[in-house]
Chain A
Amino acid sequence: SQQGEEDPQALSIQEGENATMNCSYKTSINNLQWYRQNSGRGLVHLILIRSNEREKHSGRLRVTLDTSKKSSSLLITASRAADTASYFCATDNYGQNFVFGPGTRLSVLP
């Protein structure tokens, strides 16, 4: 069964606003990663958060992890048109292969 699922499936915001995407998963995990995919391109790694971590920051990105709720969130602050992309979470669980969610399509309108 699918491990990670992002929510919402699609999100449209105005430039300058914050965007929040959520990822839920079903089994215990070792790491959770967030990736971005621009249209027609390969995925680009954003942040890796380990199961014993609760929050991580990278520039305008903030990722939280709540293992009790089996969920993670990705916050993009002060969004830009260039942030328009699909965002995926991926989990691995102790020796099993990565499982990607279906992604959130973010549109940042100028």
Chain B
Amino acid sequence: DTAVSQTPKYLVTQMGNDKSIKCEQNLGHDTMYWYKQDSKKFLKIMFSYNNKELIINETVPNRFSPKSPDKAHLNLHINSLELGDSAVYFCASSLYQYNEQFFGPGTRLTVL
């Protein structure tokens, strides 16, 4: 019974491609997040999504877009992938904004 799941676990793709990462939580939480963890393990929030309100980190390029078909899902779409997009992407959720977060296992994206 995985609380927060992500697919795929690994994603290898060429520069310029468009890809998506899916995230699902079965905790009934109201808020979901996307994080990027770089090679130095630094974790940066990309988006938080709470009751259809999207808070975007202003440093995130507009090639990245979150899409939430329902409260349990927050998918990440990335257009025109670049080498610098290579990282591990984590989805997370929390009951309310700024509460304890539950993280997914991560998706390792490699752009060649």
Interface size on B, residues (CB 8 A): 23
> In the bound complex, what is the Cα–Cα distance between A97 and B47 (angstroms)?
8
Q: Which of A35, A44, A92 contacts B98 (CB 8 A)?
A: A92
Judging by beta carbons under 8 Å apart, are B100 and A97 in contact?
A: no
Give 1 or 0 for each of B47-86: 1 = CB within 8 Å of chain A CB: 0100000010100000000000000000000000000000
Give 1 or 0 for each of B17-61: 1 = CB within 8 Å of chain A CB: 000000000000000010100001111110010000001010000
> In the bound complex, what is the Cα–Cα distance between A95 and B33 (angstroms)?
15
Which residues from A are CB-within-8-Å of B33? 98
Whether A82 is near chain B, meaning CB under 8 Å from some CB there, is no
Minimum CB–CB distance from A28 to chain B (whole Å) comes to: 14
Judging by beta carbons under 8 Å apart, are A102 and B42 in contact?
A: yes
Q: Which of B42, B57, B90 contacts A97 (CB 8 A)?
A: B57
Which residues from A are CB-within-8-Å of B42? 100, 102-103
Interface size on A, residues (CB 8 A): 21
> In the bound complex, what is the Cα–Cα distance between A102 and B41 (angstroms)?
7
Whether A69 is near chain B, meaning CB under 8 Å from some CB there, is no
> In the bound complex, what is the Cα–Cα distance between A30 and B97 (angstroms)?
12
Judging by beta carbons under 8 Å apart, are B40 and A102 in contact?
A: yes
> In the bound complex, what is the Cα–Cα distance between A98 and B99 (angstroms)?
10
Which residues from B are CB-within-8-Å of A103? 41-43
Give 1 or 0 for each of A87-110: 1 = CB within 8 Å of chain B CB: 010001000011110110000000
The 6 closest A-B pairs by CB, nearest first: A42-B103, A100-B43, A43-B103, A45-B100, A92-B98, A97-B45
Please list the residues of chain A having a beta carbon within 8 angstroms of any beta carbon in chain B. 30-31, 33, 35, 37, 40-45, 48, 86, 88, 92, 97-100, 102-103
List 20 other contacts, CB 8 Å, given A35-B103, A45-B101, A99-B45: A41-B106, A42-B90, A42-B104, A43-B43, A43-B90, A43-B92, A45-B102, A48-B99, A48-B100, A88-B43, A97-B48, A98-B33, A98-B45, A100-B35, A100-B42, A100-B44, A100-B45, A102-B40, A102-B41, A103-B43
